Chains A and B, each alone.
Chain A
């Protein structure tokens, strides 16, 4: 049997290939040329293969396999179904671009050796693939933990820096708090059968209180991985710490495995979600979206800004999941499918856009050594490739047509337009208001992205050293191009994408939007509403108008452009420091959303010899939630530490007491 007959076998072979590529790096761990220029491009090809295998047979029947590895009598069940295909396609296609970029990125051997980094990187990819294929709790948790650990090592690859070590610790902590919740959720889902395969969980029906508990635990566990409020605190720490390709993968792909997990548990394993469950992810998602984007607007570190923007997008995704649960629960299947399409589409979009942006910051970081927006500027002149390709990502994530971010936003808003038809009083009036919050978050995302691009790439260089910045090289360029092309294609061909995603929604909620009967260029998922959107025509019209305007202007008023010093209202001594800083650009947001932040100001007195103005804007949740929890844990552990007397006779006494208690219980 050739591997093509069995896509699952092909997938496994490709995941194993990732593992092998990783191990091969250990042969010459110090060689940048071997690991970077040979192994990473191979990894990109494997990624492409994963995406192709996943997409090509998208309508094929579900395939299962059992791997007899691991613990005796506990084989690993695997399953390739439409939902895992969608996310495998996301993993493969995004990682192809990121791996291409990474091959040019790991140049000098700082921190972890390139070979070891390559091993961690490819194991990280393979474990994410395994998460998507796992069909029992045991295999899932093994893959999930491998994913957490490999990404932890990747985050801390520059482990000589204390901040990076503490960021890594925070990440590991949150990952494990989440993993415990997921494990407990699986524990409930087995429903007393003690069978931990997903098939057993699908078959068992739980009483509603237990099912609710399983859902909430899963939401907590996967929410911690995704960065749902208030579990988002690790994201803005871990993303800036990691090397840019790793940030791209974590933000673009790993967060989506959490979305996958929520969908899998809610719609597949539990199977019949109650409609009111949806209100929890909906409310949390909206709060997360606003919170994330407002914080993104005031950041001064470009990767932290992107991390908060990821928090926002996770909020949007959970909002969609919440809507889908509500619609599914009240029996509006077609709308549940539409909401899920929006979620899956946005996952895919965000994977491409955010990876592109993180790689863009990687290029800037490499060229300048700066992450601080206050020391960048004007880079579009020195780095045209990085600049223009990043602009594609910026426009896409700002939700502008005809790029991809707009399509998922459009779908989600269309879904919201139906939410008043939910046959539940009171709720049906509150749900549409969610659209207002979503629209606000989307518009703020535009603000954030103008700040991000404008301050890094436009204007005057804020530091003299930026004049020597170099552009991306060939392989990096290819990676950026791949992701930018993905953003454009996902935006221009929504019908084709939805055709693929539809198989997953059919699996989860039993219906999919009918795209086959529509014209291929026209997105019209709601025939009864007579609404449609055609990005190709829209693009053609805009480009046509621009071309005509340009040609007419050129033909009629052909005068050369003269270059001169900037006018600036006649002010002659223009200085780069007169531009807005990152803080300055974020100031209106800081002013309007004051209550979101914990703001500390340090204002100099008029008599200060060396006056210093400082303002620090930090996360309230960290101060008001995490530090108290940390304090309680500290006090509890101090109390428990009393047990550790350090004398062997005391420990023997403990053993004695334990034995007595056990004997008393047994007898």
Chain B
């Protein structure tokens, strides 16, 4: 492993930690502009996290240690996930430790711990949120696995950085199977990050909330970590999308410092476009009733499986 590889690894994790709230702010700002509202500041998520860290933590009297542990575990899983996603370069030293299936596992750790923590106090909202989160998750997880499967079949590996590398060096042909999986991935991304049409990050409307319902009992530093982890999750999903569908521009293998320097503005550009795209999707779609959410997720799963079938039929 060269020094550049370790530098890439370090920069990627750092970028994920630092840029995730900014990306969230960018999506929110774009959404506000598209909806003809005046946008909140781009840096608002940072202020939110900073403010929360400075507050006194209040937790329920009958919260167990699991409740206090969960924000750290969720945050840790998200940072570890950021370390295997090739956002800037593909020559990550950490890539041999966890492939894309392990990445799905890392996301599952976060989901399971968040749901368990939500059930810990025993409030009606907490268990409701946990149940709904798991309901979305059990369809989103296999859908994501199938999306990764298609990319793995094309590139003959399950290591995400290698997938990105092999897809990037191929002639920029359009794989019909990847078109299907891209649709599926967009749907999974929206659902897993509690965006419209599955959940609405902007409200605490009691009957429809999913993600926010699980965080109701958290405050101060625990909440800050959870919020930061949620921003990281959105950032991670965006970067998984880049690796699978637009891998061009990332520094490939041991390409050296120059290529790493190029990859940083490329990543920024991709994120900017992704933010607009997400905001657009959220603006043109309406929130689904909770009972329709499984249908939405099942559609995503079927799209992913269809992508797999298309790949096997056409070999592309």
**Chain A interface (Cβ within 8 Å of chain B)?**
377-378, 380-381, 391, 395, 398-401, 406, 409-410, 413-414, 417, 420, 428-429, 432-433, 435-436, 439-440, 442-444, 446-447, 449-451, 453-455, 458-460, 522, 524, 529-534, 537-538, 541-543, 545-546, 549-550, 553, 556-557, 559-569, 574, 576, 578-580, 584-585, 587-589, 591-592
Q: Which of A380, A436, A458 contacts B142 (CB 8 A)?
A: A436
17 A-B pairs besides A417-B152, A447-B135 with CB distance below 8 A are A377-B122, A401-B98, A413-B145, A420-B312, A443-B138, A443-B141, A458-B64, A522-B97, A532-B99, A541-B83, A541-B97, A546-B72, A546-B75, A550-B72, A559-B55, A579-B122, A592-B298
Chain B residues in 8 Å Cβ range of A447:
134-135, 137-138
Given the interface pairs A399-B105, A433-B308, A542-B76, the reply to whether A417 lies near B158 with Cβ below 8 Å is yes
**Is A432 within 8 A of B149, CB to CB?**
yes
Asked if A532 and B97 make an inter-chain contact with CB atoms under 8 angstroms apart, the answer reads yes
Contact A399–B108 (Cβ < 8 Å): yes
Residues of chain A lying within 8 A (CB to CB) of residue B55: 559
Q: Could you list 9 examples of A-B contacts with CB < 8 Å? A: A395-B109, A406-B105, A420-B312, A534-B97, A545-B79, A569-B206, A579-B124, A591-B291, A591-B294
> Which chain B positions have C-beta within 8 A of A578?
123-124
Main secondary structure of the interface of B (DSSP, over half): helix
Q: Are A439 and B57 in contact (CB under 8 A)?
A: no
Cα distance A563–B54 when bound, in Å? Answer: 17
B106 touches A (CB below 8 Å): yes
Q: Which of A410, A439, A564 contacts B102 (CB 8 A)?
A: A410
Verify if B139 is at the interface (C-beta below 8 Å from A).
yes
**Contacting residues, chain B, for A587 (C-beta < 8 A):** 131
Task: Give chain A residues whose Cβ lies under 8 Å from the Cβ of B112.
Answer: 395, 398, 400, 446, 449-450
The 8 closest A-B CB pairs, nearest first, are: A459-B122, A460-B122, A439-B142, A454-B119, A580-B127, A537-B97, A443-B141, A546-B76
B146 lies within 8 A of chain A by Cβ: yes
Asked whether A410 lies within 8 Å of B134 as measured between CB atoms, the reply is: no
Chain B residues near A406 (CB-CB < 8 A): 102, 105
Flag if A588 contacts B305 (CB, 8 Å).
no
Is A446 within 8 A of B108, CB to CB? yes
A533–B98 contact, CB under 8 A? yes
Chain B contacts to A: CB under 8 angstroms: 53-62, 64, 66, 68, 72-73, 75-77, 79-80, 83, 94, 96-99, 101-102, 105-106, 108-109, 111-112, 115-116, 119-125, 127-128, 130-132, 134-135, 137-139, 141-142, 145-146, 149, 152-153, 156-159, 162, 204, 206, 216-217, 219-221, 225, 291, 294, 298, 301, 304-305, 308-309, 312-313
Whether B127 pairs with A585 at a CB distance below 8 angstroms is yes
A436-B127 contact in complex given A459-B120, A532-B96, A542-B80, C-beta closer than 8 Å: no
- CB A184 to nearest CB in B, in angstroms, measures 39
CA–CA, A432 and B137, complex, Å: 22
For A588, the chain B residues whose CB sits under 8 A away are 131-132, 135, 294
Q: Which residues of B contact A453 (CB under 8 A)?
A: 116
Contact B75 A568 (CB under 8 A): no
A399 to chain B, nearest CB (A): 7
B115 contacts across to A, CB distance below 8 A? 450, 454
CB-based A-B contact count at 8 angstroms: 258
On whether the beta carbons of B57 and A562 are closer than 8 Å, the reply is yes
One of A381, A391, A433 near B62 (C-beta < 8 A): A381
**B142-A442 in contact (CB<8A):** yes
Supposing A413-B101, A542-B80, A545-B79 touch, asked if A459 and B313 sit within 8 A by C-beta, the answer is no
Q: How far is the CB of B305 from chain A (nearest CB, A)?
A: 5
Interchain CB contact under 8 A, A378 and B122: yes
Chain B nearest CB, measured from A597 CB (Å): 16
CA separation between A327 and B280, bound complex, in Å? 47
Q: Is the CB of A533 within 8 A of B102?
A: yes
B83 CB, min distance to chain A CBs, angstroms: 6
In the complex, the answer to whether B119 meets A458 with C-beta atoms within 8 Å is yes
- Bound complex: CA of A557 vs CA of B222, how far in Å? 12
Which residue of chain A has the shortest Cβ distance to B204 in the bound complex? Answer: A569
CB distance A529 to B127 under 8 Å? Answer: no
- Cα A533 to Cα B77 with chains together (Å): 16
Partner among A435, A529, A560, A564 whose Cβ is within 8 Å of the Cβ of B146:
A435
Say how far A556's CB is from chain B's closest CB, in angstroms: 7
Q: In the complex, which residue of chain A has the Cβ closest to the Cβ of B73?
A: A546
Q: Please give the distance in Å from B98's CB to the nearest CB on chain A.
A: 5
- With the chains together, A429 CA to B258 CA distance in Å? 43
A429-B149 in contact (CB<8A): no
Of all chain A residues, the one with the shortest Cβ separation from B115 is A450
